[in-house]
Structure 1
Amino acid sequence: MKMRDHLPFSVLVAASVFVTTPAMAEVFVAPYGGYSFGASEFTISADNTNDQGSLKISESDHYGFMAGVTTKDPGNIYFLYSHQGTELRSGGNFSPNIITDLNVDYFHLGGSLFFPNGNFKPYVTASLGLTQMRPGDNYSTESRFSMGFGAGIEYQMTDAFSLFADARGYATFVNSSSALFCDGGNCLWSISSDIMWQGQANLGVKLKF
């Protein structure tokens, strides 16, 4: 699936909150934690042997935060940072199964639209930014454009404090038939994938100022 198939929804949701920021916006910070799951596999081939196999990011926990301002929709605009410490695993004809440790970071700008019902505030959200994958063992760092979308619910406990839970999906765009995770100038694999999908389930708190 190509990037243009995902662009309209994410851009419309994010843009709708960016253009409606009120003069009396509230600033908020929202730390959260959760679990990253369902990362799609890269189909890979070794440059030196042409062996076929797969490459996948292991499921694990993560943490992060959002910081932003509220809008009058009601909604918000925010900067999001998410960090996952995990492993890069191979399959098929490749061994060992665990190749290297891997840090996956998302740096996104996004927006949310809320649908308040008393103290409960369901919402949808979308974001744009970069995915950075930083393996150990001298493999190269990879930074790729990515998009996010999700839905969740916030419970307003006081005017300044609330709890939230959401589920998010991230699509990281990689060029097909390109090198990935090079080591000392030698690229070990070629990939034949367009998008890496990854899901997150999150729990967090929001503080307004």
Structure 2
Amino acid sequence: MNRQTFTAILFALLLPVAPVAADLGLSPFAGYRMSSSVDVKTAGASNRDQIDFRDSVSHGLVVNFDLDEPGKQGEVYFGRQSTSARLDDGLFAPGIGSIDLTIYQLQFGGLYFPGGQSHGGFVSGVLGVTRLEPDDSRFETDHRAALSIGAGYQFLLAEQLRLRLDLRGVYTTLNSSGSVFCSGGCEIRFVSSGYLQVEAGAGLVVRF
């Protein structure tokens, strides 16, 4: 699954939704992500190490559509982060202790305004997939299930325009039997069951 496939899936899922939605909101956003470390085993499964993801800027698009019950919306979240992964004490390959990569998330779920409006405070929850894509083609791309839970506030600027502030936690599950960023004879494997990223973001919501 490449970048073009992600975009095609996003638009394919939105096309059947738009005609039945009372209102549709598009929110391009920019944010900043902070990540926890990931425990791994290195060659021979005898040495433990940690992968650290560099904290960096993120950006993407959130799409919301009104549901029948006031204050409830469906949500599609697409996020992108350019970062790097570094081993604390080891090497991914001879002479390579750090890998530049792009992290994508494509997730689906809902958003709820406790006040029953389409602005003000809200909570959100979405579920989908995380794509870990190294910039170096010698290393493999990885896909993992992910869950995001967040909260925020939408300030009413005009009838069809809001300022959206978000704070969300993105948890990506990992399979301890799977290798990580490996190609050929690489023997680095996950030990952690998952890792957490915290994202603070802001964007403008344009409603149609």
Give the alignment's TM-score, normalised by structure 1: 0.81
Confirm or deny: 8 A CA contact 2:71 2:116 kept in the other structure: no
Q: 1:148 corresponds to which residue?
A: 148
Range with bigger deviation, 121-130 or 23-32: 23-32
Range with bigger deviation, 160-169 or 109-118: 109-118
- In 2: Cα distance, 1:109 partner to 1:119 partner: 19
> Are 1:53 and 2:49 an aligned pair?
yes
Confirm or deny: 8 A CA contact 2:111 2:125 kept in the other structure: yes
- In 1: Cα distance, 2:155 partner to 2:190 partner: 43
Confirm or deny: 8 A CA contact 1:133 1:142 kept in the other structure: yes
Give the number of equivalent residue pairs.
186
Q: 1:78 corresponds to which residue?
A: 75
What do the CA deviations read for 1:160-197 (whole angstroms, capped 9, x no partner)?
A: 000010100011111124311112x3234012110111
Counting aligned pairs with the same residue, the percent is: 23
Structure 2 stretches lacking a partner, 5+ long:
1-19
For residues 8-23 of structure 1, the aligned pairs below 5 Å read none
- Relative to its length, the structure with more strand (as a share) is 1
Secondary structure of the residue aligned to 1:186 is coil
Structure 1 stretches lacking a partner, 5+ long:
1-22
> Residue 158 of structure 1: CA displacement?
1.0
Confirm or deny: 8 A CA contact 2:72 2:116 kept in the other structure: no
Q: 1:113 corresponds to which residue?
A: 112
For residues 120-135 of structure 1, the aligned pairs below 5 Å read 121-135=120-134
Q: Which amino acid aligns with 1:34?
A: G
Secondary structure of the residue aligned to 2:158 is coil
Q: 2:3 corresponds to which residue?
A: none
- For the aligned residue pairs, the C-alpha RMSD in angstroms reads 2.4
What do the CA deviations read for 1:99-120 (whole angstroms, capped 9, x no partner)?
A: 1101000000121001349996
- In 2: Cα distance, 1:107 partner to 1:32 partner: 14
For residues 166-185 of structure 1, the aligned pairs below 5 Å read 166-183=166-183, 185=184
- Aligned mate of 1:88, from 71, 85, 89: 85
- Aligned mate of 1:33, from 18, 30, 51: 30
> Residue 98 of structure 1: CA displacement?
4.9
Q: Which amino acid aligns with 1:168?
A: R
Q: Which amino acid aligns with 2:76?
A: F
Confirm or deny: 8 A CA contact 2:83 2:102 kept in the other structure: yes
What do the CA deviations read for 1:9-50 (whole angstroms, capped 9, x no partner)?
A: xxxxxxxxxxxxxx661011100001001x221212222584
Give the alignment's TM-score, normalised by structure 2: 0.81
What do the CA deviations read for 1:95-145 (whole angstroms, capped 9, x no partner)?
A: 578511010000001210013499961000000000000012221001001
Q: Which amino acid aligns with 1:152?
A: G
Secondary structure of the residue aligned to 1:100 is strand
